[in-house]
Amino acid sequence: SSYPDFIDFRNQADSLESLAAYEQTVRNLSDDLGAERLRGFYVTGNYFDVLGIKAVVGRTLQASDDTPSEAQPIVISYGLWQRRFSSDQNVIGQPLKLNSKIYTLVGVVEPSFRGLRLGLPPEFWLPMSADPSYASGARGDRGIELVGRLKPNVSVAQAQSELTTIAARLAEAYPQSNLGTLDRPNEP
């Protein structure tokens, strides 16, 4: 999806309790221990709530993190917390430098969470608001993925039908960027 389409899906999908967006990124962590290349994700503030993922230390990202701020938060994996921070409970509020930008460490996710993609698990999550290109993104920029939580008593088939209808409306409203998006396979 594109970020503008995500906003439309989120605002129009009545069958979903909530809808979150995410996109993979790679950043370099640098601190007193040296530099390390890490795989992570830009996510919307409700990402962890949609997935039911909790923090074991601090908090996960939340809806208020969708607004750009000077002290951008970062959530890290349990493995990164063990490896780079020796499982120190006092890391919350500490600065973390990725690609020369400073983030504020707000939480560590539960050890069982390995992300939504196959392969190596992510080691950090940043709010999409940390990258202004999302808010100004074009409809044709289809780099983000979506994940949603169904409302009670709504079937996957009902939600898929509704999302297909919304996609058709978007294709009609924005033919230059959205024409042909219905031809792509969707996973429930």
Q: Tell me: the pLDDT tens digits for 127-185? A: 998 887 887 777 878 889 999 999 999 999 999 999 999 999 998 988 888 766 655 54
175 against 47, higher pLDDT:
47
Q: How far is CA 4 from CA 47, 65, 119, 138, 162, in A?
A: 17, 18, 28, 7, 18
Section 58-80 average pLDDT: 92
The runs of H, that is alpha helices, within the chain are 3-12, 47-51, 78-85, 156-173, 175-178
Predicted local distance difference test score (pLDDT) of residue 75: 98
Tokens 């990402």 locate to 47
CA distance 137 to 19: 18
d(CA 14, CA 6): 14
pLDDT given at position 156: 95
Which 3 state secondary structure label does DSSP give 82?
A: helix
Amino acid 185: pLDDT: 46
pLDDT at 83 over 70: yes
Angle, alpha carbons 145-45-146 (nearest 5°):
15
Q: What does the alpha-carbon distance between residue 8 and residue 57 come to, in Å, rounded to a whole number?
A: 34
Q: pLDDT grade, residue 40 (50/70/90)? A: very high
**Contact partners, residue 87, CB within 8 Å, separation at least 6:** 81
Place of tokens 């074009």: 138
Residue 140 is predicted with a pLDDT of: 79
pLDDT category at 188 given cuts 50, 70, 90 is: very low
* Mean pLDDT to the nearest integer, 110-132: 88
Split at pLDDT 50, 70, 90, the class of 34 is confident
